[in-house]
Amino acid sequence: MHATRATCLLSAALLAGIGFAVSAGAASARWEQLIGVGQVLARQHRYAEAAVMVEQAVALGERAPAGGGVGLAVALQTLSDVYAAQGRYAEAVSALERSLGIWDTRLGAGSAEVAACREQLGQLREAQGDVQAAEYLLRQALAMRQVELGELHPLVAASFEELAAFYAGQGRRDDAAPLLERAMAIRRLHRRRDALAYAASLNLLGAVYHAQGRPAEAIALCEEALTIDRSLLGAVHPEVATDLSNLAVLYQRVGRYAEAEAMHREALLAWEVALGPGHPEVAASLEDYARLLEDLGRIHEAGAAQVRANLILSRQTAR
């Protein structure tokens, strides 16, 4: 599964527009409470407890008139997310397929919500190792969104990015690159409304260019992304730290060692301020910096950075 991928949970506005069908009064309030608590527990990585809450919400939806309708679909989608986070992919697929059947009936097979669920189902199939099914579902979701929303909608860009991420994960970088180029072009059209999404798109394409052996093009994209993220998020945000780390590696690859070292130092400081000096991301940044120092022949400094990284990781393991 990919961390930057969207789930297909229904928004509160859509719920209000369609009508919540679990039941009136206390049962509806209880359903909302179960879903809400389940989502909070999932965000805290307390997935076993989250599953118990959301399973109760599903059971409540199943007892509602007409089988629960939209409320049951939402509960099943949430349950699928929780199961997937636990690695229970077969159960996650089953729950999402049930939800998808409800959406097909309620909104039609070509709706944006159905497309989003098919995309999520594709991610689950990929996690199960069913590559052929995953590709089919992701391509189907993209086609649905193009028809429903038009070629230039941000959600179409998101579907291009999802399919490209799948191809990149399969080592099919030459298939991924043109999809990300199309996504970036769409994101550029909407950059005044969502500059951060545009910056993320630049980074995605930069990563693929890097993997293709096109470092100069990757650097140009990642430098633009850093400028955007830094201007909107500040100097010590985790996203900015990621941008700095990526650029440091790219500079190192093309022999721009002084710039690479400056970027590594800035990234390390940003991680320490944003997440604390004992965070695993700080350890990863130290290891990257140690590799640069090793390449430069500064063995003692590299060793000191690696020792700091090892200490952070050992403390994390001991927890």
The C-alpha angle 149, 151, 153, rounded to 5 degrees, equals 55
At 70, the amino acid letter reads: V
pLDDT for the residue numbered 29: 80
pLDDT for the residue numbered 5: 38
Q: State the number of CA atoms in the 13 A half-sphere of 83 facing the CB.
A: 22
pLDDT for the residue numbered 3: 38
- Answer yes or no: are the C-beta atoms of 70 and 20 closer than 8 Å: yes
- Which residue is it, tokens 């229970």? 88
d(CA 196, CA 304): 36
φ, ψ at 156 (rounded to 5°): -70, -40
Q: What is the pTM of this model?
A: 0.81
User: 65: burial class by Cβ within 10 Å (0-12, 13-18, 19+)?
Assistant: exposed
Torsion angle, alpha carbons of 245, 194, 11, 50, to 10: 10
- Answer yes or no: are the C-beta atoms of 273 and 267 closer than 8 Å: no
pLDDT for the residue numbered 67: 54
pLDDT for the residue numbered 61: 82
pLDDT for the residue numbered 17: 34
d(CA 141, CA 162): 10
- Answer yes or no: are the C-beta atoms of 111 and 148 closer than 8 Å: yes
Q: Which residues contact 141 (CB under 8 A, 6 or more apart)?
A: 115, 116, 118, 119, 122, 159, 162
pLDDT for the residue numbered 14: 31
pLDDT for the residue numbered 78: 92
Q: Which residues contact 8 (CB under 8 A, 6 or more apart)?
A: 77, 113, 116, 117, 119, 120
- Answer yes or no: are the C-beta atoms of 135 and 166 closer than 8 Å: yes
Structural domain spans, the chain: 1-149
pLDDT for the residue numbered 113: 79
Which residues of the chain register pLDDT less than 70? 1-27, 65-68, 109-110, 319
CATH superfamily placement of domain 1-149: Tetratricopeptide repeat domain (1.25.40.10)
φ, ψ at 256 (rounded to 5°): -90, 70
d(CA 92, CA 84): 6
pLDDT for the residue numbered 4: 37
